[in-house]
Structure 1
Amino acid sequence: MSTHYQALILGSGQAGTPLASAFAKAGHKTALIERAHIAGCCVNEGCTPTKTLIASGHVAYLAKRGPDYGVLVNRDEVKVDMKKIRQRKRDIVDSFRGGSERRLKEAGVDVLMGEGAFVDERTVKVRFEGGEEKVVTADRIFVNTGERPAPAKLEGVEKLDPKIVLDSTSIQELDEVPEHLVVIGGGYVGVEFAQLMRRLGARVSVLQRGKQLLPREDPEIAKCLFDILKEDGLDILLESQAVGIEPHGKGFKLKYQEGKGGPEKELIGSHILFAAGRIPNTEALDLSAAGIKTNSKGYIATNPFLETSTPNIYALGDVKGPPAFTHISYDDFRILSHNLLPSSSSSPTPKSSTTNRLVPYVVYTDPQLAHIGLHEHEIPDRKTIQVAKMPMSYVARALETDESRGMMKAVVNRETGLILGFTCLGMEGGELMAVVQMAMMGGVRWEVLQRAVWAHPSLAESLNNLWGFLE
């Protein structure tokens, strides 16, 4: 016998959990299937735990910098308790997860802790941990199963002690600081963990295949971050590719090639972090049984209304492909709740979609790298734009706090004066980016920000001065 629901959600990430609660509160019989833990990647393995760990790294960094501020401490006596850092992270994750579980229960959602797979376009079979199975049907089905780190692919890696082969999840469970961490991949995940572990006391080497860190960013931003990380003591090898690895003592010997056609070199390390990609959690869903189409990388294909190729089946969050950000997943929830649930408003509103959605993001290096809108390299006709660049060392607040590393960059339309894109690699870059994002959302010209009266001394008042560098 099967149980029928009006709404069925597969995966309890930052889109699925609030969507399940919203449908249940609206009077729809709702179930949520989760195979691992409530609240998804963000709370359990992503934003919440990693930014908690990074906060500990920042404290260690500031403690060592005490003499720079006239606070006399012995830099060599700053000690790190990795088990305490890990426990603090676990406690915060448990707190956040508990809140999600409580909200689902209060909303009346049936939570099925098992793994779901499609039988047909309206039927899902749930397999529980003990081997028991349950069949459920639904009028609408929402897939929010997310993605995970890509498996390590390197000749010889299977011969290593599994405890020293890390991904973005397992590295958070270390109970000691690595002696020498080698990071494969110079993207957002790689640089965050690389800087964190360096600040906690590890020697760190980063291998990046491309010509710059963070390939999505404009070259001068990537170069600025490169210089900051080098100043922090990281060894960064650009245009370098790992070609093989073998056990060496308690660690490993990594063979890599630096540059195209260059000679092979070696690195001796204690731990290796693979941070060079993620893959969607779709292989166990049997999507073909429901006629759900995917792209070449396995992500579920959707239209701007988050509809899949099968009517009444939707996909939300990372499982539908990039951009893979928590705030995008949550906006996916808002789109579907707006379009599918009745509104209390008496006047009809247009359907929501992902079309022209502004996508902000923050990389939690120190300083933060925040961006909104277009990058300069994404605009084909340079004649239509003006670009402003200003170092953070021109910002009074950054100088007063001795956190003046980094730069700001803005791209504006030459004719309209509207802001097309903004990047801040600087102290609290995400907060400053949000100010510019508000201007972009409101169609405010750059001149309005230049003439605004900002509080002094604040980071926002840098928006008086940035525009003086427009070219």
Structure 2
Amino acid sequence: MREYDAIFIGAGQAGPFLAARMAAAGRRVVLIERKFLGGTCVNAGCMPTKALVASAKTAEVARRASEYGVRLDGKPTVDMVAVAARARKVTLDARNGLASWFDSLETMDVLYGHAKFVATKTVAVDGMRYTAPQIFINVGARPHIPDVPGLAEIPYLTSTSIIALEELPRHLVVLGGSYIGLEFAQMYRRFGADVTVIERGQHLASREDTDISDAIADILTGDGIQIRRGHKMTSVTRAGDEIVVQTDRGEVRGSHVLVAVGRQPNTDDLGLEFAGVRTDERGFIPVDDRLQTNVEGIWALGDCNGRGAFTHTSYNDFEIAAANLLDGDDRKVSDRILGYGLYIDPPLGRVGMTERQAREAGHRVKTSTRPMSRVGRAVEKGETQGLMKLVADADTDRVLGAAFLGVGGDEAVYGVLDAMNLDATTERLRWAVPIHPTVGELVPTLIGDMKPVD
């Protein structure tokens, strides 16, 4: 039995940073990771996928070069081996950087292996036991594989395995029309594959308002992606060199299938029952407003707690835990205003409530929308797809949320995010003097056009 001040299970975007802070303060900590440092973001999420998105964007810009008065000799081609190698290098550089940092911390040990609870404050790794008064679970999530007849018998891809793909699919069939699936769908279409998206619901990215969802669909169909909405999968089979996805409304045949129907937490093999830590029906670990589980001295951080599914929310979990445990603060998860992005091209930047969510929460809302075709910066760049949308409370004038789908939308939305964190009214925000020419300069214009929604 080895004793520490704190044990961290999983090396995602929350636990390691808290472990490093504790180690820098002289506490003895151990970080246990079963596979790779950096978690989903570094190894199978943000970093490699956005590297791939950048390659796909470059291919599209090259194809459109003549629209900007630039002539290229011949048709641009995509070297998938080089594309995959670039994404792999981004991951390895980040992973190695973390390893070097952790090696420099004298009171922090890093172990590689599968940690399982054997008692409330004790975990075992490869037969050795470790105990500490504080334990932090940061094990992340993995792609969910639905129980569809025949799916387990075919060589399907997931958002993790497709990153390493060094060949161009002839026809990629994407199961799932939400954020991860849509990014890969557009990416591989721009690499040169035929792509079909199958979504069981009536809208893509169904969390969004209908006008935003419809605009996303328009962007993707404009790229030549086939979208099948309202299709429920019934089976998957092989037919020669093709994979056949059968739905209740017909079939789709392709060469490769990407399963992108959601994610599930990596909590099923941690021995949580031996620690008395509860999970919900989906496997997430419920936590209180300060990220503690039902067991005192055990916290759950990041994707596995169900309180956010993004790198930035995981990192914010670290910030909350560090502030409360090390700085004498009292920060809460419920104070967090959620923002996120959808990294198709053009991207979606989202913060706060949608119009639908605001109305369901009982707000009397006012909204404003503006097509990107009426945004000067978008016109100048020749990227006029999408729209900007702002939502506010008609009674208090407080900003409730925004959706900026268009060139620079993932950056421009920060003005609204900051305003919401400062509890600003639209009247105050309206009199900001933004930089021209930018996408964000249209926020005061949006405010000026706001109208109550009946």
TM class by shorter chain equals over 0.9
Mapped partners of 2:438, 2:287: distance in 1 = 42
Matched, 1:191 2:194: no
Pairing partner for 2:220 from 229, 233, 237: 229
Mapped partners of 2:102, 2:153: distance in 1 = 43
Spell out the pairing of 1:291-330 with structure 2 (5 A cutoff). 291-330=276-315
Identity %: 39
Matched, 1:88 2:96: no
Is 1:182–1:204's contact at 8 Å kept on the other side of the alignment? yes
| Alignment match, 1:153 | 147
Mapped partners of 2:60, 2:448: distance in 1 = 34
Task: Name the count of aligned residue pairs.
Answer: 449
Mapped partners of 1:158, 1:338: distance in 2 = 45
Q: Aligned partner of 2:134: which letter? A: R
Mapped partners of 2:302, 2:68: distance in 1 = 43
| Alignment match, 1:135 | 129
Q: Aligned partner of 2:131: which letter? A: T
Mapped partners of 1:340, 1:350: distance in 2 = 8
| Alignment match, 1:261 | none
Pairing partner for 2:348 from 362, 369, 374: 369
C-alpha displacement at 1:152, in angstroms?
4.8
Mapped partners of 2:271, 2:79: distance in 1 = 44
Mapped partners of 1:242, 1:384: distance in 2 = 39
User: C-alpha offsets along residues 116-160 of structure 1, whole Å, 9 cap, x if unaligned?
Assistant: 000111110012xxxxx2111111000000110012532122332
Matched, 1:359 2:358: no
Mapped partners of 1:381, 1:88: distance in 2 = 45
Matched, 1:210 2:189: no
Secondary structure in structure 1 of the residue aligned to 2:4: strand
Mapped partners of 2:324, 2:197: distance in 1 = 45
Is 1:20–1:104's contact at 8 Å kept on the other side of the alignment? no
Spell out the pairing of 1:438-453 with structure 2 (5 A cutoff). 438-453=418-433
Spell out the pairing of 1:59-458 with structure 2 (5 A cutoff). 59-73=58-72, 77-108=75-106, 109-127=108-126, 133-160=127-154, 162=155, 165-258=156-249, 265-341=250-326, 343=327, 350-379=329-358, 380=360, 384-458=364-438
Mapped partners of 2:238, 2:117: distance in 1 = 42
Consecutive unaligned residues in structure 1, runs of 5 or more: 128-132, 259-264, 344-348
User: C-alpha offsets along residues 284-334 of structure 1, whole Å, 9 cap, x if unaligned?
Assistant: 101010000111111111101111111100000001114201001101111
Q: Aligned partner of 2:202: which letter? A: K
Is 2:368–2:450's contact at 8 Å kept on the other side of the alignment? yes
C-alpha displacement at 1:382, in angstroms?
7.0
Is 1:224–1:406's contact at 8 Å kept on the other side of the alignment? yes
Mapped partners of 1:257, 1:323: distance in 2 = 33
TM (norm. structure 1) is 0.93
Mapped partners of 1:464, 1:135: distance in 2 = 59
Secondary structure in structure 2 of the residue aligned to 1:107: coil
Q: Aligned partner of 1:297: which letter? A: R
TM (norm. structure 2) is 0.96
User: C-alpha offsets along residues 254-302 of structure 1, whole Å, 9 cap, x if unaligned?
Assistant: 21123xxxxxx22220000010011110111010100001111111111
Mapped partners of 1:284, 1:356: distance in 2 = 31
Mapped partners of 1:25, 1:215: distance in 2 = 43
C-alpha displacement at 1:381, in angstroms?
6.8
Mapped partners of 2:70, 2:318: distance in 1 = 48
Is 2:233–2:245's contact at 8 Å kept on the other side of the alignment? yes
Secondary structure in structure 2 of the residue aligned to 1:178: coil
Is 1:122–1:138's contact at 8 Å kept on the other side of the alignment? yes
How big is the alpha-carbon RMSD for the aligned residues of Structure 1 and Structure 2?
1.3
Is 2:413–2:440's contact at 8 Å kept on the other side of the alignment? no
